Amino acid sequence: MIDSRLPSRITELSDAVFKTTMRPVTRLVNTHWHFDHTGGNTYLGSSGVTIIAQEHVKQQLSSVQDVSFVGLRDGHYPSQALPGVTYSSSMALHQGSQRLTLENYGSAHTDADTDIYIAPANVAVVGDIFSNHFYPIIDLVSGGSIDGMIHSLDRILPQTDDQTKIVPGHGPVATRADLQDYRDMLVQVRQRIKDLIAAGKTMDEVVRAAPTNDFDSKWGTSYVTADVFTEMVFSSLAGTSASR
């Protein structure tokens, strides 16, 4: 299983897996520490499931964490919810005929994101590095950055093709074209905000300049508003994680 989702839905999720495969979950990969991806860890870990994640996830789940801009405060998790197997930059797993390659490219949505490539199924599970079609959270307190988001996408895209099924952290399954469109949006917004910062604009002035305006109808329809996304990008580029 990849991610254990919300704690209120873990029984439903486990039942769905069992009905599909008639086999129990034995391993769980967390794509990062946020509660909507790790909420079922305690239930599964208590059942003997091996939890696997990038090494920083264990540290993050072990203490209280705050996510600036969205008012999220979570942790700490009990020992049975923590990853028992961790890796630094890359790890390979096998499940039947499928090979799962786990990769961390450094700072992105957080500093502990895991992207999973499944072959020969040709599936890429990319966690919250990609939300389809929503502006992303950049968890600056957990080491995330706009530059790192784009860097990770630039590493993911060459490993996909037009037939790859891309599973985002939120939203429907996507194509490589969707992921490319998302990456290009991030690049354009970053450059616009970088130019405004270079011109000496404050955060409030950058928000008023509406640098995402032409993207808002497509990407600004979820819980991360255009203004909040702008503030996160500004803070990432300006080197501050101060919450609004």
Q: What is the per-residue pLDDT across 160-171, written as a single tens digit (0 to 9) for each?
A: 999 999 999 999
Establish if 37 belongs to a structural domain: yes
Q: Is residue 34 part of a domain?
A: yes
Instruction: Evaluate whether residue 19 is within a structural domain.
Output: yes
Task: Give how far the C-alpha of residue 165 lies from the chain's centroid of Cα atoms, to the nearest Å.
Answer: 17
- Residue 103 sits in a domain of what CATH number? 3.60.15.10
Please say if the pLDDT value at position 43 is more than 90: yes
Scanning the chain, the segments in alpha helix (DSSP H) are 10-21, 35-38, 41-46, 55-61, 146-156, 176-198, 203-208, 216-219, 226-238
Q: How many domains does the chain have?
A: 1
In this prediction, residue 131 has a pLDDT band, given cuts at 50, 70 and 90, of very high
The answer to whether position 1 is within a domain reads: no
Sheet holding 115-119, edge to edge: 90-95, 98-103, 115-119, 123-131, 165-170
Look at residue 243 and tell me if it is in a domain: no
Residue 2 lies in a domain: no
Res. 242: pLDDT tops 60? no
Q: What is the pLDDT of residues 5-19, one digit of tens each?
A: 988 888 888 889 889
Tokens representing 127 are 């966690």
- Containing domain of residue 36, as a range? 7-238
pLDDT category at 95 given cuts 50, 70, 90 is: very high
Q: Is 99 domain-assigned?
A: yes
